[in-house]
């Protein structure tokens, strides 16, 4: 696993460097976030390298192999995100996000319906507020495009 961690860290560093350098092509002011996250990714990858050297047998102490039910959960989450991305422009960001978060919470075993609905709605409103109104990032409106 030591070799795998080094390879993954190297891939992340190369990707982050590419993203950092590519961000200089962006319009003035819009390059800051990609550069920030590129630096964070580089620092985390370097941290992975140091951690791997410090404790190379960490994975040997892990809980074991991944079970088939865990693969099923991972596959279901991946399919849910693909459906979400497909419906994003059709239904809109807010509605799609409510259904994604609520559906995933329910699928993962959180069965308090009132809390699932509340968490889904509040999360969608919070994300929409941050991106659309505070950061001025346009989000897909879908069915509600002509209303706002």
Confidence (pTM):
0.62
Whether 17 contacts 24, CB under 8 Å: no
Q: Which residues of 115-130 are buried (b: 16+ CB within 10 A; e: fewer)?
A: ebeebbeebbeeebee
CA atoms of 139 and 133, how far apart (whole Å):
10
pLDDT in tens, 52-66: 888 877 766 555 677
pLDDT in tens, 7-43: 999 999 999 999 999 999 888 878 888 999 999 999 9
């Amino acid at each position: 696993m030591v070799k795998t961690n080094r390879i993954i860290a190297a891939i992340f560093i190369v990707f982050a460097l590419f993203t950092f350098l590519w961000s200089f092509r962006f319009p003035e002011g819009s390059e800051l976030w990609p550069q920030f996250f590129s630096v964070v990714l580089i620092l985390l990858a370097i941290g992975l390298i140091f951690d791997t050297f410090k404790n190379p047998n960490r994975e040997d102490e892990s809980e074991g192999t991944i079970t088939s039910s865990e693969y099923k959960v991972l596959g279901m989450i991946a399919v849910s995100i693909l459906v979400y991305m497909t419906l994003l422009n059709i239904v809109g960001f807010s509605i799609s996000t409510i259904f994604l978060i609520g559906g995933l919470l329910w699928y993962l075993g959180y069965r308090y319906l009132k809390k699932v609905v509340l968490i889904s709605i509040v999360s969608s409103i919070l994300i929409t507020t941050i991106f659309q109104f505070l950061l001025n990032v346009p989000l897909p409106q879908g069915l509600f495009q002509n209303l706002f």
